[in-house]
Amino acid sequence: MPEYYDGTKLLSMLDINGNKPELYLCTTNRTGGKTTFFRRREINLFKKKHIKFCEIFRYNYELTDISDKIFKDISGLFFPHDNMRSVTRSKGVYQELFLNDIPCGYAIALNQADQIKKLSHLFSDVGHMFFDEFQSETNNYCTNEIQKLLSVHTSIARGQGKQTRYVPVVMCGNAVSLINPYFVELGIAQRLRDDTKFLRGDGYVMEQGWIQSAADALKDSGFNRAFSRNKYVAYSAENVYLNDSRSFLEKPTGKGRYLATLRYNGCDYGIREYAEEGIIYCNDIADKTDPNKITVTTADHEINYVMLKRNDFFLNNLRYYFEQGCFRFKDLKCKDAVLKALSY
């Protein structure tokens, strides 16, 4: 008998301070059944306790045929006598969901955060939220996505005579990148290890699961065997983070010469040269007294920082070292910052 994901333990956990969390994160290998578990749960909560739910997506186009996306797979397995439909509301800002013609929840898109704020009174009956595929395989995140999620949650978690209500959010995803925006923001990227099963933070808990039967099924697939050398197969069947490579994560020996400070996504990184080893090294310890400060994005452009596109000679040198395999990084976050810089 194949095994499937069970989120009971995750939902029963307290956060690092012993409080009831409001954010639950779950990552497993693909086809493990985590989406099925949480969507079945939200339907059961409505049927048994009349608790409405809200499903979160990134973009409006994802709301097309939303009732089928949410309910089609689980209906045949668990709810064969029920049906779901959706109705477009507020000129397409959100979708209202109906189970057997009874309002049961909503589907919203993060890129409509401003409009949802104006309609917050319509969502005061939401009891919990679900965000599937919170890690994007194609890095197709919304601009300022976390800010948008915070805005949406604030809009929904109000009403009923309260300034804020307890509205838990479950976020599911496959292992795409340790340096996805959520892991970085929550400090998970630095704490997570390969053998981590559960992780607690302030206000959140996380599960890093592994479903062996799902991995075996994917490995036994003739189609996947045909592409066995592709990293996507390892990602889907072995829970290897798709977009992460731990190559070149090491600190050189000796004393380095400080070259410049790189600012990316609000953080400063130190770029140092280790001439005897022929290595360029990046870590998150920047020399604030060094005058050579460069940026990657206009959002990081401040006084005394120079936009990277004007440093063509410096940028070309960094590219040369990287292409020759002569770059080293403290961790994946530092590596990501340099890779983003080299892509400009």
Q: Which of 66-75, 147-156, 286-295 has the lowest mean pLDDT?
A: 286-295
Q: Which of 67-76, 108-117, 331-340 has the lowest mean pLDDT?
A: 331-340
Sign of CA dihedral 38, 44, 45, 51: positive
Tokens of 66: 């939303």
Express each pLDDT in 213-225 by its tens digit: 545 555 566 666 6
Higher pLDDT, 336 or 32: 336
First to last CA, the chain: 50
Higher pLDDT, 149 or 29: 149
Cross-strand pairs, 213: none
- For the entire predicted model, the pTM comes to 0.74
Tokens of 2: 């194949």
pLDDT at 224: 60
Average per-residue pLDDT for the chain: 87
pLDDT at 283: 95
pLDDT at 338: 85
Q: Which pLDDT band, with edges at 50, 70 and 90, does 297 fall under?
A: confident
Higher pLDDT, 101 or 317: 101
* Maximum pairwise Cα distance, the chain: 73
Mean pLDDT computed over 13-35? 91
Is residue 169 scored above 80 in pLDDT?
Answer: yes
Express each pLDDT in 79-116 by its tens digit: 999 999 999 999 999 999 999 999 999 999 999 999 99
* Sequence-ordered strand ranges (E) for 275-332: 279-283, 293-295, 306-307, 327-329
pLDDT at 174: 86
- Count the Cβ atoms, other than its own, within 10 Å of residue 293: 18
pLDDT at 324: 81
Higher pLDDT, 208 or 21: 21
Containing H/E element for 70?
helix 66-78
Tell me the C-alpha distance between 330 and 344, whole Å. Answer: 22
Mean pLDDT computed over 207-215? 67
Is residue 171 scored above 90 in pLDDT?
Answer: yes
Mean pLDDT computed over 132-150? 92
Q: Where do the domains of the chain lie, and which CATH numbers do they carry?
A: 8-238 (3.40.50), 257-342 (no CATH)
Mean pLDDT computed over 237-246? 58
Is residue 288 scored above 80 in pLDDT?
Answer: yes
Tell me the C-alpha distance between 46 and 199, whole Å. Answer: 29
pLDDT above 70 coverage of the chain, percent: 85
Which of the given ranges, 114-118, 174-178, 300-304, has the highest pLDDT on average? 114-118
pLDDT above 90 coverage of the chain, percent: 58
Is residue 18 scored above 90 in pLDDT?
Answer: yes
DSSP 8-state symbol, 266:
T
pLDDT at 137: 83
Q: Which pLDDT band, with edges at 50, 70 and 90, does 232 fall under?
A: low
